[in-house]
């Protein structure tokens, strides 16, 4: 029997890679999308086929995480074997401007799904997209036993959702697990997150469209990995015998300044000539340093990242240049071909 997966947030960075991965694994994939006045499916257009096609395995359904009725309709009709809950207001800076909305979608959205799964009694497995932001001000390295100290409305909402996931597991015996993922990036990363903002900024500078890139705190340090490697972990977490929580990250941290240096110099530019600071991008409370201790994932999931920090900057700069119709600098594609001869995702 073909397994059925439901992905919330399928139009996002992770959702699009996960959909591609699950199709590759032979799943029937259902995704929740929001109605928008402009097209918002560009990350999944390349895997979409006409639902009338007898071989179609990807199906999209309108829904919103703040709307219980629509989501319940989807869960009861599809009866998925696995739910990957990735939908969220996921931007930390924006969560300071929209704290209540973020709590509703990013926090309560999880409860809505868990409650539907509990009531549907189909044995559906549940993956919660938890975040390293939950560790916030707790010093690194961070693992599954590290206390949370959230530093934004987004992180507070994720901590709530994390505990609801554990409570539904403990209280109702649902196979519900948290993947606590550290930052992961790719050519499909949203344009306002810092890595993509930088690689896209470089392209616009090289294309002569802009001279300057306006940035916030350059001292913040993050553990940055490569998104396709991380979505594979989501699947592995749900294939375990028992539901458990896992930290996923590279174990290396770099500052935003280092990302700027590495990416600009790859493109033959000096970042200091182009970067300006705009306090608008500072956050009222910042997360200074995140470093994953992902030993449990290595031991139990057999997972180890292959793409390094420097590979990541190259892959992203080259993809943005290609996207803008410019010549890539060099070896972004070669890096992927060498590290992933068995690659299951489409190059962007
Ligand atoms: P994105 O911001 O790229 O995608 C978010 C997705 O959620 C989009 O599909 C978006 O739809 C959808 N969404 C937002 N609001 C709603 C809503 N009200 N109802 C239904 N869908 C909604 O995030 P990522 O792919 O980067 O991240 C996936 C998940 O993992 C998120 O929960 C994020 O918080 C979490 N996470 C991400 C990490 C990372 O480094 N990327 C690290 C740790 C956790 P639309 O396209 O219409 O906006
Ligand atoms: P983050 O990612 O907050 O870690 O959340 P983001 O890329 O937004 O910020 C990383 C760090 O860079 C600093 N920074 C800037 N950030 C942005 N966006 N724009 C800037 O101009 C800028 N200048 C400096 C930030 O202050 C911060 O310290 C991401 C999201 O994907 C979450 O959903 C996810 O849970 C976490 O990663 C893990």
Query: 131-181: per-residue pLDDT in tens?
Result: 999 999 999 999 999 999 999 999 999 999 999 999 999 999 999 999 999
348 has a pLDDT exceeding 80: no
Cβ neighbours for 175, distance < 8 A, ≥ 6 positions apart: 123, 124, 125, 126, 169, 238, 243
- Which residue has the CA at smallest separation from atom 44 of ligand 1? 131
Read off the pLDDT band of 127 (50, 70, 90).
Answer: very high
SS3 134: helix
- Which residue has the CA at smallest separation from atom 20 of ligand 1? 64
Please state the pTM of the whole predicted model. Answer: 0.98
CA 129, 133, 139, 140 torsion-angle sign? positive
Task: Confirm whether 131 is a catalytic residue.
Answer: yes
Cβ(111) to ligand 1 under 6 A? no
Catalytic member of 133, 185, 229, 232: 133
pLDDT at residue 109 in the model = 98
Ligand 2 centroid to Cα of residue 263, in Å, is 17
Cβ(184) to ligand 1 under 6 A? yes
The answer to whether 43 touches 253, Cβ cutoff 8 Å, is: no
Instruction: Tell me the CA distances in angstroms from 9 to 12, 35, 153, one per residue in order.
Output: 5, 13, 19
Given ligand 2 and candidates 95, 216, 282, 316, which is best to mutate, with the most ligand atoms within 8 Å of its CB? 216
Read off the pLDDT band of 331 (50, 70, 90).
Answer: confident
pLDDT at residue 347 in the model = 83
Percent of the chain having pLDDT more than 70? 100
Catalytic member of 17, 154, 162, 266: 154
pLDDT at residue 128 in the model = 99
> For 64-85, how does the pLDDT look when each residue is reduced to its tens digit (9 = 90+)?
999 999 999 999 999 999 999 9
Cβ neighbours for 299, distance < 8 A, ≥ 6 positions apart: none
330 has a pLDDT exceeding 90: no
Catalytic member of 90, 131, 186, 253: 131
Read off the pLDDT band of 23 (50, 70, 90).
Answer: very high
Cβ(285) to ligand 2 under 6 A? no
> For 90-108, how does the pLDDT look when each residue is reduced to its tens digit (9 = 90+)?
999 999 999 999 999 999 9
The answer to whether 83 touches 125, Cβ cutoff 8 Å, is: yes
Q: Which atom of ligand 2 is nearest to the CA of 217?
A: 24
In the chain, DSSP assigns E strands to 4-8, 28-33, 58-62, 82-85, 125-131, 176-181, 184-185, 213-215, 221-222, 225-226, 246-248, 254-255, 275-277
Ligand 1 centroid to Cα of residue 9, in Å, is 5
261 has a pLDDT exceeding 80: yes
Cβ(149) to ligand 2 under 6 A? no
Task: Confirm whether 133 is a catalytic residue.
Answer: yes
pLDDT at residue 256 in the model = 98
Ligand 2 centroid to Cα of residue 121, in Å, is 38
> For 263-293, how does the pLDDT look when each residue is reduced to its tens digit (9 = 90+)?
999 999 999 999 999 999 999 999 999 999 9
Which residue positions form the known binding site?
212
Ligand 2 centroid to Cα of residue 183, in Å, is 8
pLDDT at residue 84 in the model = 99
Which residue positions form the known binding site for NADP(+)?
212
Greatest extent of the chain over all pairs of C-alpha atoms, in Å: 59
Ligand 2 centroid to Cα of residue 177, in Å, is 25
The answer to whether 226 touches 186, Cβ cutoff 8 Å, is: yes
**Cβ neighbours around 91 below 10 Å, total:** 16
> For 168-195, how does the pLDDT look when each residue is reduced to its tens digit (9 = 90+)?
999 999 999 999 999 999 999 999 999 9
Cβ(92) to ligand 2 under 6 A? yes
């Amino acid at each position: 029997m073909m397994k059925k997966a439901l992905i919330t947030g399928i139009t996002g960075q992770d959702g699009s890679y996960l959909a591609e991965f699950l199709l590759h694994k032979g799943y029937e994939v259902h995704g929740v999308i929001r109605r928008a006045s402009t097209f918002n499916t560009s990350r999944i257009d390349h895997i979409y086929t006409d639902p009338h096609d007898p071989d179609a395995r990807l199906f999209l359904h309108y829904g919103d995480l703040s709307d219980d009725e629509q989501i319940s309709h989807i869960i009861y009709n599809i009866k998925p074997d696995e739910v990957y809950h990735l939908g969220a207001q996921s931007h930390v800076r924006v969560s300071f401007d929209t704290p209540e909305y973020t709590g509703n979608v990013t926090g309560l959205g999880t409860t809505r799904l868990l409650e539907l799964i509990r009531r549907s009694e189909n044995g559906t497995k549940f993956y919660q997209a938890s975040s390293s932001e939950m560790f916030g001000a707790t010093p690194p390295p961070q693992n599954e036993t590290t206390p949370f100290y959230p530093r934004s409305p987004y992180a507070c909402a994720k901590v709530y959702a994390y505990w609801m996931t554990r409570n539904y597991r403990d209280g109702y015996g649902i196979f519900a697990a948290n993947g606590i993922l550290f930052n992961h990036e790719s050519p499909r990363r949203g344009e306002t997150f810092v890595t993509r903002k930088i690689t896209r900024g470089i392209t616009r500078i090289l294309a002569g469209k802009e001279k300057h890139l306006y940035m916030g705190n350059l001292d913040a340090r993050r553990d940055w990995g490569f998104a396709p490697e991380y979505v594979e972990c989501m699947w592995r977490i749900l294939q375990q015998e028992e539901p458990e929580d896992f930290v996923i990250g590279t174990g290396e941290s770099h500052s935003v300044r280092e990302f700027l240096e590495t990416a600009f110099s790859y493109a033959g530019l000096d970042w200091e000539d182009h970067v300006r600071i705009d306090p608008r991008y500072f956050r009222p409370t910042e997360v200074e340093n995140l470093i994953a201790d992902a030993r449990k994932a290595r031991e139990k999931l057999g997972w180890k990242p292959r793409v390094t920090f420097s590979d990541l900057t190259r892959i992203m700069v080259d993809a943005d240049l290609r996207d803008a119709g410019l010549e890539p600098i060099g070896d972004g594609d070669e890096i992927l071909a060498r590290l992933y001869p068995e690659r299951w995702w489409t190059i962007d």
